[in-house]
């Protein structure tokens, strides 16, 4: 790409008169810059490394000494806007399909993308991460994004993915976390999945359109239980009537809590949050330090503790750490 065209795309201002007039590719990670690349400097401290690695042009939001007069130094008013404009320009040269989807679908696709023959790419809110994949984009790839507003800016010709309604039969809810059903004459026995997320599973199953490893559903972290024994130590799936559920995505709270309260009336649920949450009633318990979690659980009667603001991995690590500390004494 010619430097003059680049400046027009990002509405930038050339700060010098470089001898170089073109660039090959875009980079946001200074350690990945190669000779001929454009470096987009979100951190001014990264500029030196990018130039040493061979950047032919640097885009920056704040001023930096021009340490190499031969390359182009371009100032923009908003580096994030420049990222969006460059990404949109690059994608415009490919014939791809872009979809916005909900977070459950997005995570399920992430689970199955590596084993699919389709070229599936993910546009997260971190455009820097997506730009690392831009060189790998090919015609007929599929791009998925949870943020419709962002996707509209990057690739306006997009569609909604979660639009169809699906009918299942022979439905059995074995527990909050395990279901069986028939869809399109195919029987799915004892999937490790909450029934509220069957539509997203079917959407992904239809899209992949290949044999998929159903055991991989264990990698879905949403509404996934962590069972505890009578000593509040982690135990095997289904081996106890006490369990924890974690959720860090605020958009999923209302749906999951309604499901829990409607489907688990025979058990006692408590709600624990890292900070006060307006979507919950005053019965919430605030825990600002996970090291206090075990004491909170000991002092409250519960079957289910729905925990907001901490990930399942954080809960696992904390409980394992506390268990090790206890055994030392």
In this predicted model, what pLDDT tens digit does every residue of 70-79 receive, in sequence order? 999 999 999 9
Predicted pLDDT at 328: 46
Predicted pLDDT at 253: 93
Q: Which residues touch 89 (CB under 8 Å, ≥6 apart)?
A: 9
Does 3-86 match 225-328 in CATH topology? Answer: no
What is the Cα–Cα distance from 188 to 180, expressed in whole angstroms? Answer: 5
DSSP string, 217-233: GGG--TT-EEEE-TTS-
| Strand partners for 187 | 182
What is the Cα–Cα distance from 188 to 178, expressed in whole angstroms? Answer: 11
Q: Answer whether 44's CB lies under 8 Å from 65's CB.
A: no
Which ranges of the chain have pLDDT less than 70?
Answer: 325-329
Predicted pLDDT at 127: 81
Q: CA quadruple 197, 198, 202, 205: dihedral positive or negative?
A: positive
51 sits in which H/E element = helix 47-52
Which backbone phi and psi does 308 adopt, to 5 degrees? -110, 130
Predicted pLDDT at 283: 83
What is the Cα–Cα distance from 187 to 170, expressed in whole angstroms? Answer: 8
CA distances from 1 to 39, 108, 173, 192, 302 (A): 13, 37, 56, 49, 62
Predicted pLDDT at 131: 80
| Strand partners for 175 | 178
Predicted pLDDT at 312: 92
Q: Answer whether 122's CB lies under 8 Å from 110's CB.
A: yes
Q: What is the CATH number of domain 225-328?
A: 3.90.190
255 sits in which H/E element = helix 253-263
What is the Cα–Cα distance from 266 to 176, expressed in whole angstroms? Answer: 12
DSSP string, 183-227: ETTEEEEEESS-GGGHHHHHHHHHHH-S---GGGGGG--TT-EEE
Pick the CATH number of 3-86 from 1.10.10.60, 3.40.1390.10, 3.40.50.300, 3.30.365.10: 3.40.1390.10
**DSSP character at residue 293:** H
What is the Cα–Cα distance from 128 to 30, expressed in whole angstroms? Answer: 12
- Domain positions in the chain are 3-86, 94-217, 225-328
Q: pTM of the prediction?
A: 0.87
168-193 per-position pLDDT tens digit: 999 999 999 999 999 999 999 999 99
What is the CA angle 238-240-244, rounded to 5?
A: 85
């Amino acid at each position: 790409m010619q430097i003059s065209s680049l400046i027009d795309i990002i509405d930038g201002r050339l700060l010098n008169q470089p001898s170089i007039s073109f660039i090959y590719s875009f980079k946001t990670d200074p350690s990945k810059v190669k000779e001929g690349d454009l470096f987009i400097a979100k951190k001014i401290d990264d500029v030196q490394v990018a130039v040493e690695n061979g950047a032919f042009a640097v885009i920056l939001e704040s001023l930096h000494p021009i340490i190499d007069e031969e390359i182009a130094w371009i100032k923009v008013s908003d580096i994030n806007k420049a990222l969006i404009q460059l990404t949109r320009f690059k994608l415009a040269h490919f014939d791809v399909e872009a979809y916005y989807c909900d977070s459950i679908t997005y995570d399920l696709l992430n689970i199955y993308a590596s084993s699919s023959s389709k070229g599936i790419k993910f546009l997260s809110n971190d455009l820097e991460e997506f730009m690392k994949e831009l060189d790998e984009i090919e015609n007929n790839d599929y791009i998925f994004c949870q943020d419709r507003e962002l996707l509209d800016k990057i690739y306006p010709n997009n569609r909604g993915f979660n639009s169809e309604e699906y009918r299942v039969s022979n439905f059995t809810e074995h527990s909050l976390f395990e279901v069986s059903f028939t869809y399109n004459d195919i029987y799915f026995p004892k999937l490790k999945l909450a029934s509220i997320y069957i539509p997203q599973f079917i959407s992904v199953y239809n899209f992949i359109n290949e044999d998929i490893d159903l055991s991989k559903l264990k990698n879905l972290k949403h509404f996934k239980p962590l069972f505890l024994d009578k000593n509040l130590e982690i135990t095997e799936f289904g081996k106890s009537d006490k369990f924890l559920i974690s959720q860090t995505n605020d958009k999923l709270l209302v749906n999951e809590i309604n499901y829990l309260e409607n489907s688990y009336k025979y058990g006692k649920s408590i709600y624990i949050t890292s900070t006060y949450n307006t979507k919950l009633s005053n019965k919430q318990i605030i825990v600002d330090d996970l090291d206090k979690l075990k004491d909170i659980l000991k002092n409250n009667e519960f079957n289910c503790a729905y925990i907001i603001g901490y990930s399942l991995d954080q809960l696992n690590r904390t409980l394992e750490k506390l268990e090790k500390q206890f055994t030392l004494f």
